[in-house]
Amino acid sequence: MVVATLKVELIIHGAASLKEKRSVVKRLISRVRSRFELSVAEVGSLDALQRAEVGLAVVSNDSRHANSVADKVLDFIEALNLCEVGSADIEIIHI
C-alpha cells in the first residue's frame, strides 16, 4: 500500500477576516473533494488571516499513480485561482 501526502500552503490575498479566509478554504476543499477521491482538511495556520495550510492524502497500490494524483490535485488547486499557492510538499509513504 502506498500513501501520498500533499501539504499545500495557501496565501489568500484580500482576506480581512477569518470568515472570509475560511470561505475561500471551504470552497477549495469542496471543489477538490468533488473532483478527486481523496481526504482533504485544513491542517495549519488556522488563526492567520491570509495564510492557510491544507493537507491531502491519497491511498493507492502504485507509487506512480499516487504521485500522479497528488500532482494533478496541485495543478487543479493552482488553476482554481481562489488563492495563491505558496509552497507544496509531496511525500510518498510505502506501508
Q: Is 50 in contact with 21 (CB distance < 8 Å)?
A: yes
Q: Kindly report the CA angle at 20 between 17 and 21, in degrees rounded to 5?
A: 85
pLDDT at 47 over 90: no
pLDDT at 48 over 90: no
What average pLDDT does the segment 60-74 reach?
92
Banded pLDDT at 88 (limits 50, 70, 90)? very high
pLDDT of residue 25: 92
E strand segments, 1-95: 2-11, 39-44, 51-60, 84-94
Topology of domain 2-94, CATH = Alpha-Beta Plaits (3.30.70)
pLDDT of residue 44: 84
pLDDT at 29 over 90: yes
Dist CA 7 CA 88 (whole Å): 6
| Predicted TM-score (pTM) of this structure | 0.86
Show me where the domains of the chain are located.
2-94
